[in-house]
Each structure stands twice: as C-alpha cells, then as structure tokens.
Amino acid sequence: MPLTNSQYDAIIRTYEEKQNKNRHALEERRAYVYSHVDGFRELEDSIASISVAQGRKLLEGDESALHELRLLLRNLSESKTSLLTASGLPADYLEPVYDCPDCLDTGYINGRKCHCFRQAEISLLYEQSNISRTLETENFSTLSYEYYQGDDLIHFQNAVETCKKFTQNFSFDYRNLFFYGTVGTGKSFLSGCIAKELLEAGNSVIYFSAVGLFEALSHLSFDYKNKEDLHGTYEDLYRCDLLIIDDLGTELTNNFVTSQLFSCLTERHMRKKSTIISTNLSLEELRNRYSDRIFSRITSNYMICKLTGPDIRIYKKLHKAE
C-alpha cells in the first residue's frame, strides 16, 4: 500500500499545480486592483521608498527609525484595506490564496505530511483499488428495495436507516457497524454507500478486503527492510476516519490473523476511529472462527445489522439473461 515513486511524484505535481494556479489568481487580483482602485498602486510603491528611508535613518543611528517604520507600514496597510473595502472588495482580497491554509499548499507541516497530503495518498490508493468506480453505481442514489420481501425487506430497511444516521452523525458521534448475513444481500453495497457519503464530505476512508487487510498487516509485522515505507500504511489503518473491512472470513484464519484483527479493532476503538465490518459468517461462526475477545469487542462496540434474502447478484444475472 505505500506509494511508489511515480505515485508520490504525481501528488507533488498536483501541489505545484495548486501553487501556480493560486499564484496566477493572486496576480490577476492585483492587476484588477491596480486598474480599478485609484491610489492603491501608489500606496504599494511608497512602501519600498519608506522602508529604504527608514533603513538609512537606522544605519545613521536613529534608534526610533524602526518603530517609526512599523507605524508607517501599519498606516499604509490600513489605508490599502480602506481603499479595497471602499471599492466593494474584501479586506483580504490580496492575501495569498491557498487550497490548504494549514500547509500553505506545500503538503507538509514541520516536515510531516499534512492531512491534505494524506488524503491525496488515500484517494490515489482508493482509485487504484477500483472502489471509486464501484461507488459510481453503488451508492444511496442507486439504492433499491425491489429485491427484498417480507422480513428480508424489513431487515434491509432498518439497515439503510442505520447507515444514513451513521453518515449524518459521523462527525460528532463515534460509531462502528457490523453487517452479517447471507451472501449477496447488500452488505458490501451499504458499506459503499457510507464510504461515498463520507468521502464527499472530506473524510478519509480506507477500504480493505479481509484478505488484503491481513496481507498488509503481515507486511507491517515482518517486512523489516521496508519498515519506514510501510509507516504510511500503519498511519492509514489506525488514523483514517473510517476503515472498511469487507468479507471477513474469506481470509485464511490462523493465530496471527486473530491477534492482528483484535489489535486493529482495539487500537481503532481506543482512538475513536470508526470501523465497518461485513461478513457472510453467522454470529456463532464468528465466535468459533476467531475468539471470544473479538466476538465480545464486536458485539459490545458495533451496531449489528443482519441482512437476509436471496443473492441479489444472481437474481440480477438471471433477470438480465431473460
């Protein structure tokens, strides 16, 4: 999951493009002000001459020159602001423009990757996992109840309402979801619905199949040569706003998988970072396959949604063939 050099370079290029775009936007604003706000350019031009004059005084021993310079520059700044607002422009119209004011569009804060850079990494990896393509067709806007009847319909309707509340309250109400039930009943679909809503709201979302998750955790545990590169994977797993673990139970389960799953769920719970798990296992199979600790963690800290009914994917194929 760590970025390749080409992926990293691609993200860096986007920051260069942002900087160039915003620099150009500021230049256009300045040109507009110079041509439409009388006296503004003259005020700006006077700053240089005043600074030189006060600097000369300072060199000649005038200790009050620096204080005078600060007062003069403050007065000039206030005059410039007055001219802008009198012309119907915002007071900060000529302040630098940034897509991310936290890192000033550099991607880094004090030598560490900014949250916007991390989101760019996540988005790039998300794109390459083909999940984004899936979300174009599998989301709340394409949701349909036509494949469900009776109790199956009630289960699905309840699950949909739970998902909508989960997304609506996500920013202030820490929750986790556990979808279980028979194959093809909409568990992954609902996870995708939530993922799309939260991604569009600016939250970081990471999707893993169960097989992919434990492969990543294996690399984190045993790939000592690439430990530094894999640090980003660790950060994603434990710091992303939402982690989706799809098809739990399809992986080869052993002691390593069990211990890593428990550690992952526990760490994210302690950080109050939400997790969604989907599985075709029954609750009894979940307890037998993993451990009482994992079973207790899930049943205690997750909203449980059971989905039942026919396999919708097979249903669609059959009706398409007709």
Task: In whole angstroms, give the CA distance from residue 35 to residue 97.
Answer: 20
pLDDT digits (tens, 9 = 90+) for 284-298: 999 999 989 999 999
Hey, what are 285's tokens? 């199979």
* CA torsion through residues 59, 63, 64, 66, sign: positive
Query: What pLDDT does 273 receive?
Result: 94
Q: Taking Cα atoms as reference points, which of 265, 277, 274, 250 lies closest to residue 187?
A: 277
Task: Count CA atoms closer than 13 A to 49's CA, side-chain side.
Answer: 5
Contacts of 175 (CB under 8 A, 6+ apart): 166, 169, 274, 303
| Phi, psi angle pair for 250, to nearest 5° | -85, -10
SS3 275: strand
pLDDT digits (tens, 9 = 90+) for 61-77: 887 888 888 888 888 88
pTM score: 0.64
Strands of the sheet with 274-279, listed across from one edge:
205-209, 242-248, 274-279, 177-181, 303-307
pLDDT digits (tens, 9 = 90+) for 216-245: 888 777 655 555 555 566 677 888 889 999
| Phi, psi angle pair for 108, to nearest 5° | -135, 145
SS3 114: coil
